[in-house]
Amino acid sequence: MAYARSKKKVAMSQATQATQASASARLSRATARETQAKANITSQVETTCQSAHIELRHYGPSVSTSTCCEESGRFCAGCARATSDGAACRECAGGFIEREGNCIACADSAGWTNLAGKTCPQLAAADCNDIKVRGKSSNEAWGAPKVLACCTCGGGIISPTPFFYPSVHLVLGSSVRVLPSVRTAPRYSLNEDCEFPDYGLQMDGATGIISRPTGSLYPRRVESFSVECTVTAHQAPGLTYDTPVKIAMDFLNYGAPVLFFEGVKAPQPTVASKAPGEWKDFEVQCAPVVDWLQVDSTTGDLRLTSGTAGGSVDTEDATLAGQHGGICVVKALHKALASDSPAGLQCQYYYGTLTCHVPDLSQKTPGNSVVVPQIDFYNNFPEAQQTSLFCIRCTGYLVITLPGYYQFTQSSDDGAVTYLNGQMIISKPKCGFWAKTSSSHFLHSGTHQLEVAMCEGGGSEIWKLEYQGPDTNGSKITVPESALQQHDEVPL
């Protein structure tokens, strides 16, 4: 297998101040707010969170404390401090109020006061009653009788709690497990035109966790892809929040669409993640020119070097405005691992009182078996025990390297059929002289289930399967042995 050219396009930024690499604009803004809050802190109480927990940070007048919250718990949303075991929320953040063990975003009905002149934020639970002032009480909302007006009294105006998903950039064949940050609802759904199933991605409707098992290649694709869907969190009847989630997989990846580099003293490289196989001849090209960036020609790792900072790059995160940077493409030669599956197709012969049209051979008992390198026979069927009144059925997988439209041509005397991915694409159902039939289909890179069958009623014995498309440079050729394999394995 020859080397193929692979490339990865990313944005590069050289930070003018210490900046932590992040693919999420929201995370960057949160970090900026946290940095401002830390300016007034004189002491910190730190906690190291275990796996399956998230860190919650609470800022007091002079002390910053961190606690750990179980990432699967809805009580983490809107929580400022968790209990010591992380199994419940101890204190809700500002703008949130505790309801049934969870922190709910709640706003009081504006402008209301009780007889004592207290507004909703000034009320204690004991102050809640049905006494109306100017036609309203703390136990009813504006224009909505029997709904409490004040959050303290168990009502108020409830808003959906925002959440987001981190941007996911991985190499092909990697496992995927993406959690909402944070879990806010008992039920999640996807937009109706979401293409997650096309890429083997799943979502747990109860937790919002998106996953893809390690090595999952259903459907059998080996080209890069990027898919974006909208997740809706159903937090309560009539209360929902939508957020996008994007998952991308490439042969070559650096973990984020925007890479940040800081400092010039013993800088750590940004390590390249690569699909299995042999890699060589890495190079990087940027616009505007980024002469402070260097790529290791052997490993693909990126490193900040001395150079003149010039040019800039726009990203979705406005906090990066003014940073030096550019749009860069890393290129390399890649040779995928060879498949362990034997080449060719597995075939079975069927004998007896068969006609020259193809019956359902799956319901019949085969005679002898043979492995053939390709479908190209003219009175020379290998190991056939008779020259007429037989059928042959061959199964295996077609390997497509370059995606695109492929035309398949079947030549036969007598009847023959061709199935691709379980669908009949070509059929010559009757006896008669040699004839050709064709059909065109779009195929993704990867393996595709192939089944072909032919029956011989007498006379000449002809059977051939050809194709043309991106893998053949547009020429019509017999489907070669190198494009056929007996088992469903792909080079990843």
The residue assigned the tokens 């996911």 is 168
Q: Are 139 and 148 in contact (CB under 8 A)?
A: yes
User: Dihedral of the CA atoms 264, 266, 270, 274 (nearest 10)?
Assistant: 140
Asked which of 189-203, 211-225, 372-386 is least confident by mean pLDDT, the reply is 211-225
Cross-strand bridge partners of residue 377: 463
Q: Do residues 354 and 433 both lie within one domain?
A: yes
Q: Tell me, yes or no, whether 354 and 442 share the same domain.
A: yes
Of 335, 357, 379, which closes a domain?
335
Which pLDDT does position 220 carry in this prediction?
Answer: 47
Mean predicted lDDT score pLDDT of the chain: 79
Supply the pLDDT for residue 251.
Answer: 86
Q: Are residues 321 and 354 in the same domain?
A: no
The range of the structural domain enclosing residue 229 comes to 168-250
List the CATH number of the domain containing 185: 2.60.40.10
CA distance 407 to 112: 73
Kindly state whether residue 162 falls inside one of the protein's structural domains.
Answer: no
Q: What is the pTM (predicted TM-score) of this model?
A: 0.61
DSSP of 346-397, one letter per residue?
EEEEEESS--SS---GGGS----EEEESSSEEES--TT-S-SSSEEEEEEEE
Rounded to whole angstroms, the Cα distance separating 378 from 454 reads 13
In a domain, 266, yes or no: yes
**What's residue 146's pLDDT?**
43
Residue 9, pLDDT > 60, answer yes
User: Residues 131, 194: one domain?
Assistant: no
Asked if residue 119 belongs to a domain, the reply is yes
Buried residues in 285-302 as b, exposed as e (16+ CB within 10 A): ebeeebebbbbeeeebeb
Is residue 58 included in any domain, yes or no? yes
| CA gap 176, 211 in Å, rounded | 5
Q: Is residue 291 part of a domain?
A: yes
Residue 256 lies in a domain: no
Q: Tell me the backbone φ, ψ of residue 120, rounded to 5 degrees.
A: -55, -45
User: Do 394 and 457 have their domain in common?
Assistant: yes
With a cut of 50, say whether residue 12 has pLDDT above it. yes
* 477/395 same-domain check: yes
Longest dimension (CA), the chain: 107
H-type alpha helices, 411-455: none
Q: Is residue 284 part of a domain?
A: yes
pLDDT for 363: 78
Question: How many domains would you assign to the chain?
Answer: 4
Is 308 within 8 Å of 289 (Cβ atoms)?
Answer: no
- Nearest-angstrom CA–CA distance, 79 and 90: 8
Q: Which residues pair with 159 in a beta bridge?
A: 105
- pLDDT the model gives residue 31: 35
Mean pLDDT computed over 232-252? 93
Domain end marker among 335, 370, 398: 335
Give the range with max mean pLDDT: 148-162, 235-249, 432-446. 235-249
Number of neighbours of residue 192 by Cβ within 10 angstroms: 6
pLDDT at 106 over 50: yes
Q: Which residue has the higher pLDDT, 266 or 371?
A: 371
In a domain, 257, yes or no: no
Q: Is 487 within 8 Å of 342 (Cβ atoms)?
A: yes
Last residue of a domain, one of 305, 335, 365: 335
